[in-house]
């Protein structure tokens, strides 16, 4: 869960820190792309990146990486928490609402096939489906859709989740995972997972960041220091 602005101090993210995070996260992204058989060229390199966003909050380690093919990955708590591709109806339709024809097509697999693909993808990420109830029926399944204007939209979202309760032990055991499937191309086009049971150690970065407030105070003071001012007492 992202930190609440104003409660957690912002840190001043330097170019060196940003580059170090990017390099550290890339192998995780590469492994995720390979496990899900995504059309991301291997080996994954920084030359394939169009934009990188770094989590600036104190005590948090995270990044969002957008590739030149518009695939987008997020990293947090030691794992790739999500990815989406530009052709995913569920995550991109709002942005492309005036071009929904791009999502129209036909089903080349059944909903049951999509559920099995989601289950196999979960296993490919290194998890045992039975440990998360993924070996059973999904707790949620949306799509495909028949749109009066645009005809058939062959996308399906398959989800398994365990809702948190007030007991802290149960909260720690809660989780949520979903896969978006393109039923026409038979491909996973988005994934999201959350829950403490997925967490792993973050990579180590040997760069200490300065609080943003301290950085601004320090640099503002420097802005008003005239290095070429005449000495006190005369010209």
Q: Give the total number of structural domains in the chain.
A: 2
Distances (CA, A) of 204 to 32, 144, 207: 19, 42, 9
Q: What's the confidence (pLDDT) of residue 101?
A: 81
Judge whether residue 230 has pLDDT over 80: no
Judge whether residue 228 has pLDDT over 60: no
* Eight-state DSSP code of residue 151: E
Residue 219 pLDDT level (bands cut at 50, 70, 90): confident
How far apart, in whole angstroms, are the C-alpha atoms of residue 158 and residue 148? Answer: 23
Q: What's the confidence (pLDDT) of residue 223?
A: 47
Asked if 176 and 158 count as a contact pair (C-beta separation under 8 A), the reply is no
Q: Does 93 reside within a domain?
A: no
Domain membership of residue 58 as a residue range? 1-78+200-216
174 alpha carbon, distance to own chain's centre? 19
Considering the chain, what is the average pLDDT of its residues? 86
Q: Does 151 reside within a domain?
A: yes
Asked if 115 and 143 count as a contact pair (C-beta separation under 8 A), the reply is no
Is the domain of 41 the same as that of 121?
no
Judge whether residue 234 has pLDDT over 60: no
Is the domain of 111 the same as that of 186?
yes
Burial 162-186 (b: 16+ CB within 10 A, else e): beeeeeeeeeeeebbbbbbbbbbee
81-100 pLDDT, tens per residue? 999 998 898 987 766 666 77
How far apart, in whole angstroms, are the C-alpha atoms of residue 69 and residue 35? Answer: 18
Which comes out higher in pLDDT, residue 168 or 2? 168
Is the domain of 176 the same as that of 204?
no
Q: Does 229 reside within a domain?
A: no
Is the domain of 143 the same as that of 169?
yes
Judge whether residue 36 has pLDDT over 50: yes
Is the domain of 183 the same as that of 206?
no
Is the domain of 5 the same as that of 68?
yes
Residue 116 pLDDT level (bands cut at 50, 70, 90): very high
Please classify residue 113 by burial: count the beta carbons closer than 10 Å to its beta carbon, then call 0-12 exposed, 13-18 middle and 19+ buried.
Answer: middle
Is the domain of 187 the same as that of 212?
no
Q: What's the confidence (pLDDT) of residue 109?
A: 96
Q: Does 148 reside within a domain?
A: yes
Q: Does 169 reside within a domain?
A: yes
Q: What's the confidence (pLDDT) of residue 184?
A: 96
Q: Does 108 reside within a domain?
A: yes
Q: Does 153 reside within a domain?
A: yes
Q: Other C-beta atoms within 10 Å of 79: how many?
A: 19
Q: Does 63 reside within a domain?
A: yes
How far apart, in whole angstroms, are the C-alpha atoms of residue 108 and residue 190? Answer: 18
**Residues in Cβ contact with 27 at an 8 Å cutoff, skipping those fewer than 6 apart:** 44
Q: What's the confidence (pLDDT) of residue 235?
A: 44
124-160 pLDDT, tens per residue? 999 999 999 999 999 999 989 987 777 899 999 999 9
How far apart, in whole angstroms, are the C-alpha atoms of residue 190 and residue 182? Answer: 9
Half-sphere exposure (Cβ direction) of 188: Cα atoms closer than 13 Å: 27
3-state SS of 35-84? HCCCCCCCCCCHHHEEEEEECCECCCCEEEEEECCCCEEEEECCEEEEEE
Percent of the chain with pLDDT over 70: 86
């Amino acid at each position: 869960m992202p930190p609440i602005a104003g409660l957690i101090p912002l840190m001043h993210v330097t170019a060196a820190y940003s580059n170090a995070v990017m390099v550290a996260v890339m192998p995780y992204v590469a492994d995720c792309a390979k496990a899900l058989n995504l059309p991301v060229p291997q080996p994954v390199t920084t030359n394939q990146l169009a934009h990188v966003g770094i989590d600036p909050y104190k005590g948090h380690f995270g990044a969002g990486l957008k590739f030149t093919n518009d695939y987008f990955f997020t990293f947090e708590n030691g794992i790739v928490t999500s990815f989406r591709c530009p052709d995913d109806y569920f995550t991109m339709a709002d942005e492309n609402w005036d071009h929904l024809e791009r999502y129209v097509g036909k089903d080349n697999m059944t909903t049951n096939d999509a559920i099995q693909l989601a289950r196999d993808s979960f296993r490919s990420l290194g998890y045992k489906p039975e440990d998360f109830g993924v070996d059973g029926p999904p707790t949620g399944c949306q799509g495909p859709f028949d749109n009066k204007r645009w005809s058939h939209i062959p996308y399906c979202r398959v989800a398994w989740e365990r809702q948190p309760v007030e007991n802290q032990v149960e909260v720690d055991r809660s989780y949520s995972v979903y896969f978006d499937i393109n039923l026409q191309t038979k491909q996973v086009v988005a994934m999201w997972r959350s829950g403490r049971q997925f967490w792993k150690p973050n990579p180590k970065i040997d760069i200490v960041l300065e609080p943003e407030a301290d950085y601004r105070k320090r640099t503002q003071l420097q802005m008003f220091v005239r290095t070429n001012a005449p000495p006190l007492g005369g010209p």
